[in-house]
Amino acid sequence: MNIQLQAEYEQFIQTRIAIGRYENAEDVIVKALKLSALGFS
């Protein structure tokens, strides 16, 4: 699946990868989806 993100979200993801919190964009999005499913949105 390909998705288009607003620039600020893309920057957020790239920053998390750069600081070593996540390995790739998929990891960031999967974590966000899991948190959303648990009601942390």
Continuous H helices in 1-41:
7-18, 25-37
Whether 2 maps to a domain, the answer reads: no
Whether 28 maps to a domain, the answer reads: yes
* CB atoms inside a 10 Å sphere around CB 28: 19
Higher pLDDT, 40 or 32: 32
18 Cα distance to chain centroid: 12
Retrieve residue 24's tokens. Answer: 């790739």
Whether 1 maps to a domain, the answer reads: no
How many structural domains compose the chain? 1
- Given a cut of 70, is residue 41 above it in pLDDT? no
Whether 19 maps to a domain, the answer reads: yes
Range of the domain at 19: 7-37
Residue 1: predicted pLDDT: 86
- Residue range 2-25, pLDDT digits in tens: 999 999 999 999 999 999 999 999
Whether 12 maps to a domain, the answer reads: yes
Contact yes or no for 17/24 (Cβ under 8 A): yes
Whether 25 maps to a domain, the answer reads: yes
